[in-house]
Amino acid sequence: MTVPIQSGALISETSRHTLSSSRVRAPRGWMITTLAVAFIVCLPILSVLYVALFPEENIWPHLIDTVLPRYIRTTLQLLIGVGILTFVFGVTSAWLISMCRFPGRKLFEWALLLPFAVPAYVIAYVYTDMLEYSGWVQTGLRDWFGWQSARDYWFPEIRSLGGAILMLSLVLYPYVYMLSRAAFMEQSQSLLMASRSLGCSPWKSFWRVSLPVTRPAIAIGLTLVLLETLNDFGTVDYFAVQTLTQGLFDTWLNMGNIGGAAQIACCMLLFVCFFIWLERRSRARQKHYQSADRYKNLPRYHLKGLKAALATLFCLALITLGFLIPFYILANYAYQYFEQSFTSDFISHARNSFLLSGLAALATIAIGLILTYARRLNRHRAVRAVVAVSSLGYAMPGAVLAIGVLVPFAAFDNTLDGFLRQHFGVSSGLLLSGTLFAVLFAYVVRFLAVSAGALQAGLDQITPSMDMAAQSLGSRPTGVLFRIHIPLLRRSMVTAAIIVFVDCMKELPATLILRPFNFETLATHVHQYATHELIKESALGDLVIVGLGLIPVILLNRSMSSAKKGEQIQRL
Amino acid sequence: MKKTVRHLAKTFLIGTLLSTTALPALAAEQVNIYSFRQPYLMQPILEAFTKETGIKTNVVADGTGILERLKREGINSPADIVLTVDIGNLSELVKANVAQPLKTDVLEQNIPSQYRDPNGIWYGLTVRARNIFVATDRVKPDEIKTYEDLADPKWKGRVCTRPGKHPYNVALVASMIAHHGEEKAEQWLRALKANLAQKPQGADRAQLKALKEGVCDVAIMNSYYYGRMLTEDNPEELAIAKAATMIFPNQEDRGTHVNVSGMALTKSAPNKENAIKLMEYLSQPAAQQLYAQQNSEYPVNPRVEPSGVVASWGEFKADPLPLTEVAQHREAAVRLLDKVNYDG
């Protein structure tokens, strides 16, 4: 069965209004479930707000007088730098891969995803090891030129703001690449054909057609990048770059002022709200729905000579810098230290990481689906606001989020315990605190934005006429979800699940704070060495995190290319 | 598709149910530990304890937010003991009111009063000296003798330290405030900042590395890192350590600034008796030796000799100022570090 869709329909504001008002109506059960889920997911954020509102001592006068302006300035510089670099890396490579032919394209198509498997703090360690004074690069240069000490020559300092921008961009650009490549491949062929037949050069049709049409996808990718950047702690800490996150931890751990730290976290949330507003705004004015002929392959520009060489070199450079070099260095250390590192404990840590991340990915997708579908069913402001707020967990540094989980869980446990003790003389102790459920919950809250973002983008591309057709054929909203949207969203769901899985594998601060007794994940296991600058001892663990991250990258690639063949439509 | 989703949902539900029941096993003899220390440091000693007493140890290790967790869990917290480093963390335990006072003869005999809380809320386990290191080929050991010397303009562009806000440096600055008052300490800190060869970065080991590389001539590092670099069997680290000379500062006046790793009994402690057994065990010579040796630290128990490499450095005079007094100046130290923009 195929559903007739006007190809590449760009629907005007007025017609969209009539469409959405005649959409499938939301049944009450859905809305109640949605609100309940959203409320629970928002709890940690509300808790942080609560902690911020009742600090033990007002630290702001001191912060504003001394370090806060610098924290904010550095944070802005970092965000702008990473934003620009990931945009250039991600969009350029996605455009080259999806629209051009050049040597190595097929290989690069998936290899460009590889850096995604490398955690930012790992790449920071590896490059510092290589580029600092005693690293082989500078040692080699000194031998070559006969320099004696650091005072004889200039070499860029890797532990700097610029270094942090580069490190973060190298591992974060795949977000932009992934989302913009999917969008470039899904863009309406007829639009591009029209632009070409109207005399646009490839460059012009990129700027005037492809880029505007794929803007929502790029915006989502960039938003994810900026959020990751904002709450990165490992890299900025290692490079001593003074961002808001650093200030937050300083206020919390050195000044013992958790209220002040929560206030800085709220300050960071303002940044986040701004990004989200910007991203929403960028898509508010436009709607485009997928066309029936999207699965035909787009004719690609055939690059030759210098252009082809440049394209190949560009992709190769990204892969080498973002993946091959760190991977090689880690593999080398892991080999040297294999016997010390590979123990039976190590295997059980790996299993823990795998199970926990897998569960978190499933839960995150399920909840993401409930929320985004509710938003589609009911465009009421309140629903949209609730869905937006529930995504804020992504914007919080993991440790702050962990506090946000700790507060309501412990409050619930202790209240229940108090009640039972008072009335029944029994103690329930801690039911939620210090369990894996708490860790899992933190993961879901932390990464819900990733799944909701991807699912939202997928849902937005499904024309409302599908819903209407299904409704007129007698389907109820839940039926529409299971029979129309979930099959059509398969690709978005797989993508989202994979991203969440990999992110959970790398997650450190919340795991450290919330986990139960005698429980280690690979990330926490590696961390104990990393804090003592023992990069070699931690290499095997890092390598496994990177290696496991590769499996989803491969799956992701397969799902993306199989979907291209249009099997989903046929199955429908 | 529908089936798959249902199946996934089921798996998820079962998984979460299973995980919620993963509370610490209610075995008869056990003790629960919240630890700031890395598992690889703790494991051998805890294993030895279990072997000797049959008491099982459960650990949440290496956690930055442990204190907050303890606070929120309140009277129901399953933790019995907190193991931590740095006087800052120990005094936060006092401030947060999550630990209970404890006095036993064994603990008081084994741990000198300077390294424990006067009310018995926390006890030190190992001592580490915050030492000055110089590049052996460029600086004579008698050229720098005190922390105050670090401010001498002759070291301009020649000093390396980790970020000032790290607890170890905060404690050092706090001890300067304790001895000289805030005003003098500020002058000293400003002069020290002016002497820095580069923006404060990296952890302690990185400072010694910078020394070898010629980035600077003078560095500050905790004594145990030096011991570990000398004994870890890693040729690169060994070469770095060998290029440096260690100096115990202020030997001719008040003594070297020292810090501790320590322990406390929590307020909630469900296994109090076992916890006290473990605490006493950790203060006894056998455990002291193992615990200190593990990280090349000084045993807090004066009757225990430090291990090989640490002993080879000879005796030194430690600043007798009680650590609780250092802790009182920590907040002022943090504000001072912000004020002079030490890390900027």
Closest-CA distance, B136 to chain A, in angstroms, reads 15
State chain B's mean pLDDT as an integer. Answer: 88
- Mutation for testing the A interface, residue in B3, B4, B5, B26 having most A CBs under 10 Å: B5
Domain with A329, as residue range(s), is 77-250+283-335
How many angstroms separate the CA atoms of A205 and A212, rounded? 10
Superfamily of domain B129-257+322-339: Periplasmic binding protein-like II (3.40.190.10)
β-pairing verdict for B218-222 and B122-135: antiparallel
Q: Domain check: are A237 and A366 in the same one?
A: no
What pLDDT is attached to residue A120? Answer: 85
CA distance A81 to chain B (A): 20
For B253, the token pair is 């006046």
C-alpha triplet A65, A66, A69: angle, nearest 5°: 85
Query: What is the tens place of the pLDDT at every residue in B215-229?
Result: 899 999 999 999 999
For residue A359, which residues of chain B lie inside 8 Å, CB to CB? 12, 15-16, 19
Q: Which of A57, A561, A2 is CA-nearest to residue A261?
A: A57
The DSSP-derived string for A59-85 is -HHHHHHTTHHHHHHHHHHHHHHHHHH
Average pLDDT of the segment spanning B144-167: 93
φ, ψ at B104 (rounded to 5°): -130, 155
Of A429, A432, A533, the CB nearest to B203: A533
> For position A287, what pLDDT does the model report?
53
Calpha distance B288→B280 (Å, rounded): 10
Closest-CA distance, A515 to chain B, in angstroms, reads 7
Each residue's pLDDT tens digit, B174-185: 999 999 999 999
pLDDT one-digit tens code per residue, B106-134? 999 999 998 999 999 999 999 999 999 99
Asked whether residue A382 falls in the same domain as residue A324, the answer is no
Residue (of A411, A349, A361) closest to A538 by Cα position: A349
Cβ-Cβ contacts under 8 Å, A524 against chain B: 61-62
We report the CATH number of the domain holding residue A36 as 1.10.3720.10
For an interface test with B, the pick among A136, A249, A254 (most B C-beta atoms closer than 10 Å) comes out as A254
Low-confidence residues in chain A, pLDDT < 50 = 1-22, 289-292, 294-295, 564-572
Q: Is A258 domain-assigned? A: no
The pLDDT tens digits of the residues spanning B241-287 come to: 999 999 999 999 999 999 999 999 999 999 999 999 999 999 999 89
| A426 shares its domain with A528 | yes
Q: Does residue A570 lie within any of the structural domains?
A: yes
* Chain A with chain B: Cβ pairs closer than 8 A: 184
Q: Cβ distance A90 to A177 under 8 Å?
A: yes
A528/B39 CB distance under 8 A: yes
Q: Of A335, A354, A373, which marks where a domain is finished? A: A335
Distance from CA of A117 to the nearest CA of B (A): 25
Establish if A62 belongs to a structural domain. Answer: no
CB–CB contact B64 A513 (8 Å): yes
Helical packing angle, A161-186 and A68-99, nearest 10°: 40
- The confidence score (pLDDT) of residue B313 equals 92
pLDDT tens for residues B73-96?
888 899 999 999 889 889 888 988
Global pTM value = 0.79
Q: Do A436 and B22 touch (CB under 8 A)?
A: yes
Candidates B12, B24, B63; nearest CB to A363:
B12
Which residues lie below 8 Å from residue A93, measured CB to CB, with a gap of 6+?
A: A108, A112, A173, A177, A181, A314, A315, A318
Write out chain B residues lying below 8 Å of A490, CB-based: 1
Q: Phi and psi (nearest 5°) for A138?
A: -70, -35
Q: Count of domains in chain A?
A: 2
Give the pLDDT of residue B21. Answer: 41
Beta-bridged to residue B32, according to DSSP, are B58
Q: Are A428 and A328 part of one and the same domain? A: no
Distance from CA of A18 to the nearest CA of B (A): 31
| A4 located within any domain | no
Residues A41 and A124 in one domain: no
| A327 and A405 fall within a common domain | no
Architecture of domain B28-127+258-312: 3-Layer(aba) Sandwich (3.40)
**Residue B186 pLDDT > 80:** yes
A307 and A365 share one domain: no
- Residue A57 maps to a domain: no
ipTM (interface pTM): 0.75
**Domain ranges in chain B?**
28-127+258-312, 129-257+322-339
Distance from CA of A23 to the nearest CA of B (A): 23
Q: Are residues A302 and A345 in the same domain?
A: no
Query: Is it the case that residue B135 has pLDDT exceeding 90?
Result: yes
**Given this model, what pLDDT does residue B8 score?**
52
pLDDT at B207 over 70: yes
Asked if residue A369 and residue A316 are part of one domain, the reply reads no
Rounded Cα distance, A500 and A364, in Å? 8
Alpha-carbon distance of A229 to A223, in angstroms, equals: 10
Would A469 be classed as within a structural domain?
A: yes
Q: From the list B38, B199, B338, which residue is nearest A240 (CB)?
A: B199
d(CA B208, CA A134): 12
Q: Give the pLDDT confidence of A8-18 residue by residue, as tens digits.
A: 333 333 334 44
Same domain? A529 vs A434: yes
Strand B298-299, strand B244-247: pairing: unpaired
The tokens 């070297």 sit on which residue? B256
- Examine the domain organization and report whether A191 and A316 are in the same domain: yes
Out of A335, A363, A398, a domain closes at A335
- pLDDT of amino acid A365: 93
| A421 within a domain of the structure (yes/no) | yes
Contact between B76 and A133 using a beta-carbon 8 Å cutoff: no
Is residue A494 assigned to a domain?
yes
Q: Are residues A493 and A420 in the same domain?
A: yes
